[in-house]
Amino acid sequence: TLQSDSAGLGTKLETVGAIASDTGKKMTTSLTVPIVGLGAAAVKSAADFETAFTGVRKTVDETEENYKRLSDGILEMSERMPTAATEIAGVMEVAGQLGIRGVENLLNFTETMVMLGDTTNLTAEDAATSLARVMNIMGTAESDIGRFGSTVVALGNNFATTEAEIVMMSNRLAAGAKLAGFTEAEMMALATAMSS
């Protein structure tokens, strides 16, 4: 009987071993592989962001401390907005190319353009490029970018035209409107009327 009990115990241990082995294989497949994949994705995401932020460094002349503030600001925006940090960095790069200066101005401009990209038919980079040009021509203060963006959205929501059409028409009219002595509000009103 001792021999049959030992044989039974051996069979049970083999069964437990097989179950443990199968469980280990399943855990490796369903846990370890995805965890390694997440780690690789995180490393790639960080590398992509560093590459994108290099573009900001090319167009924005700041101290290392301010670059850190800009980088932190971009990452913070990406956590609360439905836009990737790499895309936000691309918008800030365009802002630098178009002459937006100062950490707060760059962060405000970038956030406004990303919001326009998220809520209108404009892409964030198109909004940045077009509105910065209009602002440069009209002499708009960089601190007024939020007001400028809000105006575009309000006009697009209340008239038979889109934000993209208003911005495109504003680009066409800005130089002539400035020479004619129009205010920004008058120029935006004319662009809205003409595009609708």
Name the pTM for this structure: 0.69
pLDDT band at 179 (very low <50, low <70, confident <90, very high): very high
**Amino acid residing at 193:** A
Is the backbone of residue 162 left (phi > 0), alpha (psi -120 to 50) or beta?
Answer: beta
| Section 118-124 average pLDDT | 86
Q: How much is the mean pLDDT over the chain? A: 82
pLDDT band at 19 (very low <50, low <70, confident <90, very high): low
Among the residues of 28-144, which ranges form H helices? 33-59, 64-80, 85-97, 103-119, 124-138
pLDDT in tens, 25-60: 665 666 555 555 555 444 555 677 888 888 899 999
Closest C-alpha among 58, 74, 81 to residue 110: 74
Taking 90 as the threshold, does the pLDDT of residue 146 lie above it? no
The Cα 172–Cα 175 span in angstroms is 7
Taking 90 as the threshold, does the pLDDT of residue 10 lie above it? no
Phi then psi for residue 98, to 5 deg, are: -95, 10
Taking 60 as the threshold, does the pLDDT of residue 4 lie above it? no
pLDDT in tens, 60-83: 989 999 999 999 999 999 999 999
